[in-house]
Amino acid sequence: MGRARQFQEEATLEKAMLLFWEKGYEATSLSELTKVMGLSRSSFYDTFGSKKALFLATLSRYQANKHGQIIAILEGSLPGKRAIENVFKVYLDIAANDGGRKGCFVSNSAVEMAPHNLEIETKVSMAIDRMELAFARAIKRGQEDGAIPNYKSPTALARFLVSCVNGLVVMTKAGVDSETLNDIVNESLSGLAR
């Protein structure tokens, strides 16, 4: 019985995440949420407590799943420079396959909610810090194998790459063409060169 409920909560959480991701927090109504999640209002409140609590749960889900996939690439067994290049390829693939018009849920939340909500600001900051740390670890691996210059600060370079990824996501969301996106990626990766 417990497993079925957990599965149902995961499935409804995924549906809510996709709706928030597409529309944003403010533009998503409680009636839209309950409809897409297949819940009555009372079940919604019993399960999640509030719209804000649900939003925080969906943000955590995104960070664990979507950001988690990027972190796994950066912290995997590939050489550091190649792992970083693969991350940028993932973002280009997203742009090519679905237009990337939804952007990044964390970035969207940073713009819409973080300036007005300390809990969301904290979650967004933690996601950025986690991404930065994963890039820094990949950079250090690249420095150890000689593919990335040792004189560059892994932390500073990681911050630059996080900024580049976020800029790439915003440009994708704005609908820029693939040539422009490739230029952004090439220039971003040039920061790894000797």
- How many helices and strands in the chain, by DSSP H and E? 10, 0
- Whole-angstrom CA distances from 41 to 27, 59, 100 are 18, 21, 32
pLDDT tens track for 125-144:
999 999 999 999 999 999 99
> Going residue by residue through the chain (194 aa), what tens digit of pLDDT does each one get?
444 455 477 888 999 999 999 899 999 999 999 999 998 899 899 889 999 999 999 999 999 988 899 999 999 999 999 999 999 999 888 887 765 678 888 888 888 888 888 888 999 999 999 999 999 999 999 999 999 999 999 999 999 999 999 999 989 888 889 899 999 999 999 988 86
2/54 Cα distance (integer angstroms): 20
Query: How much is the pTM?
Result: 0.87
pLDDT tens track for 150-181:
999 999 999 999 999 999 998 988 888 989 99
Residue ranges of domains in the chain, CATH in brackets = 55-190 (1.10.357.10)
174 phi, psi to nearest 5 deg: -75, -10
64/168 Cα distance (integer angstroms): 21
